[in-house]
Amino acid sequence: MKEISDISVGLLLTCLLMVLCVGCATVEVKPFESRKEVSDALKRVVEPFPYNVVVMDTGGSGDDSNVLKDSAKVISDALEKAGIFKSVSVVSETDFERALEVSRMNGAEIVILPRVSYGEVRYEDHTGWRIPKIIIWSISEFLSALIADEIYSIEAQAVLDLYSTYNRRSLPVRIEASSKTKVVLNDYQRGFKIWGIWRVPSSLHEGNYKNIREEASMAVIEDIKSAVLVNLINWCEPVRLAKLFKEPAKLSETQKPPVQPTESKKEEPYDLFLLAIGRDSEKTPSAERSAGQFLSEVKRLVKGEVVSHLLRGDSARFTQIENLVRSVSAREAKAVVVYLALTADADKALKLKFVDQECEIDKLISIMREMKPEKIVFFFDIFAPSGTWKLKVDNNTMVLLTRKPGEKFLLKGDVTLFCATFSTLFRIADINASGTVSAKELESVVGAWFMRQARLLRDYQTASVEGGGEVPFGAK
């Protein structure tokens, strides 16, 4: 018995030693100031660019479902620490026109509107510590959970649009910064699950993804800062700003709009403006995750130049949508695709419930038309109670309603039934094999498709199509 006891103690001590060696996983965070690419870029800035810059905080960047939080503060801190502009400050204002006016009165020449447009977490693989972890798990699951062996990747993208405070127009530049960070975490860091060693990643839910994002957020933020600075310096270096502004001192005195260069030409419109909006609620579970998956799937199907944005949780604001459209309207877009997964009031008119206000669909369509698209497509994956409302759309606007009023938010896996099956739906709907799907083709199959898919889940869901035109992405 003593020998068995000694063996057990020895095994336990060995397990504890292994846990101490690999537990307490930490995410490596390398400050952007110490990175070679940033150092090389700053060497090219002999003296600060002679402009006062304001970074606009719209209040929508604190969404827990996005990797980058408080994007205005993060970007302003990076610019201020790098010292590439005369001055950098932040203005908190949800009204875009008001922000421009306040910035101009305070002597600023440039307003930067930062947005976090994408942030996804993926389970990648496990490390070589998997086998030792299984051995320790056979002795104690709680002890094995301390071993970090799960690899996750976190993607994020920040988009910065620059505006002149004097002509109130978007400057011909968009600064894009992206990062893909990999982290190795233990079970407690991603959220403990009983028998998680065998059930992950299939059992992961939004709470786990939130924990993972938080663990990696600092590393992602430093990556974003680095990419923003390098791209911004690369753009400013050829003195393009001098073509857009007079000398700051003279401009402040006269307060006249700058002379536009005669050789400048209007840029070609974007091929597609893609917007996905999701907000979780009791009636719309997994709406935010569905919006993220829809955005990823459509970007994979689209050919051409696409500008895409993802608004989830507290960032699902109508004012945020208006700001996004303004940033694109000067260049315009050939087509617009909007996905919405949220609740709506449905009496005599369909009113979409954003964080900051309710909005009738007519107003939303009107905003999208500011980009002068040839076609507009809405995918309304919304929950709305019964009502007498009717949609009024023209032949250039298509609306797919994934469920009738009163029907519940039906899920397949961890996303809505529409997001889980729409790529297959569009392949089937491409009846004439043209590579695109028209409203008539979609209308002929969508009702029966959703009824059949819902029946497999022992439930009921219908769908309908209003308007005309065609879906501006391939049916693959």
Q: What integer pLDDT is reported at residue 339 of this predicted model?
A: 94
At 237, is the pLDDT very low, low, confident or very high (cuts 50, 70, 90)?
low
- Judged against a pLDDT cut of 80, whether residue 327 lies above it is answered with no
| Residue 140 falls inside a structural domain | no
Q: Is the pLDDT of residue 112 over 60?
A: yes
CA distances (Å), origin 336, targets 117, 203, 473 = 16, 35, 11
Is 294 in the same domain as 410?
yes
Let me know whether 202 and 115 are in one domain: yes
Q: Which of 224, 254, 284 is the last residue of a domain?
A: 254
Question: What mean pLDDT is predicted for residues 228-245?
Answer: 66
Chosen domain end from 222, 254, 286? 254
Return the pLDDT at 248.
40
Say if 1 falls within a structural domain: no
* Segment 109-125 mean pLDDT: 78
CA–CA dist 369, 396 (Å, integer): 11
Same-domain status, 435 and 387: yes
- Say if 279 falls within a structural domain: yes
Alpha-carbon dihedral sign for residues 260, 261, 263, 265: negative
Sheet holding 375-380, edge to edge: 306-312, 272-278, 335-341, 375-380, 397-401, 464-467
Which pLDDT tens digit goes with each residue over 146-184? 888 888 888 777 788 888 777 655 555 677 777 777 888
pTM: 0.53
Q: What token pair was written down for 118?
A: 């994408």
Question: What's the pLDDT at 309?
Answer: 82
Given a contact cutoff of 8 angstroms between Cβ atoms, the answer to whether 67 and 217 are in contact is yes
Same domain, 226 and 320: no
Q: Are residues 320 and 360 in the same domain?
A: yes
**Domain match, 246 and 301 both:** no
Question: How many whole angstroms separate alpha carbon 359 and alpha carbon 284?
Answer: 18
**Which of 13-27, 46-60, 101-115, 413-427 tops mean pLDDT?**
413-427
* pLDDT tens track for 97-109: 778 878 887 888 8
100 and 28 in a single domain? The answer is: yes
Burial 137-157 (b: 16+ CB within 10 A, else e): beeebebbbbbbbbebbbbbb
Residues 314 and 354 in one domain: yes
- 371 in any annotated domain: yes
Residues 250 and 280 in one domain: no
Q: Among all chains, which residue has been given the structure tokens 């974003």?
A: 224
Quickly tell me which residue has 């002999």 as its tokens: 46
Q: Which domain holds residue 104?
A: 21-120+153-181+195-254
| Domain count of the fold of the chain | 2
How many Å apart are CA 112 and CA 118, to the nearest integer?
18
**162: in domain:** yes
3-state SS, one letter per residue, for the chain: CHHHHHHHHHHHHHHHHHHHHHCCCCCCCCCHHHCHHHHHHHHCCCCCEEEEEEEEECCCCCCCCCCCCCHHHHHHHHHHHHCCEEEEEEEECCCHHHHHHHHHHCCCCEEEEEEEEEEEEEEEEECCCHHHHHHHHCCCHHHHCCCCCEEEEEEEEEEEEEEECCCCCEEEEEEEEEEEEEEEECHHHHCCCCCHHHHCCCCCCHHHHHHHHHHHHHHHHHHHHHHHHHHHHHHHCCCHHHHCCCCHHHHHHHCCCCCCCCCCCCCCCECEEEEEEECCCCCCCCHHHHHHHHHHHHHHHCCCCEEEEEEEHHHCCHHHHHHHHHHHHCCCECEEEEEEECEEEECCCEEEECCCCEEEHHHHHHHHHHHCCCEEEEEECCECCCCCCCCCCCCCEEEEECCCCCCCCCEECCEEHHHHHHHHHHHHHCCCCCCCEEHHHHHHHHHHHHHHHHHHCCCCCCCEEEECCEECCCCC
* 97, 237: one domain: yes
Asked if residue 446 and residue 356 are part of one domain, the reply reads: yes
* Residue-wise pLDDT tens digits, 24-72: 556 678 888 888 888 888 887 777 888 888 888 876 544 445 545 577 8
pLDDT in tens, 224-235: 888 888 888 877
Residues 244 and 289 in one domain: no
- Classify residue 122 as exposed, middle or buried by CB count within 10 Å of its CB (0-12, 13-18, 19+): middle
Confidence (pLDDT) at 346: 72
In-domain check, residue 166: yes
CATH number of domain containing 53: 3.40.50
Q: Give domain status of residue 186, yes or no.
A: no
In a domain, 78, yes or no: yes
Query: What contacts 238, CB < 8 A, 6 or more positions away?
Result: none
Is the pLDDT at 435 greater than 60? The verdict is yes
Distance CA 120, CA 118 (A): 7
Cα-to-chain-centroid distance, residue 213: 13
What mean pLDDT value characterizes the chain? 78
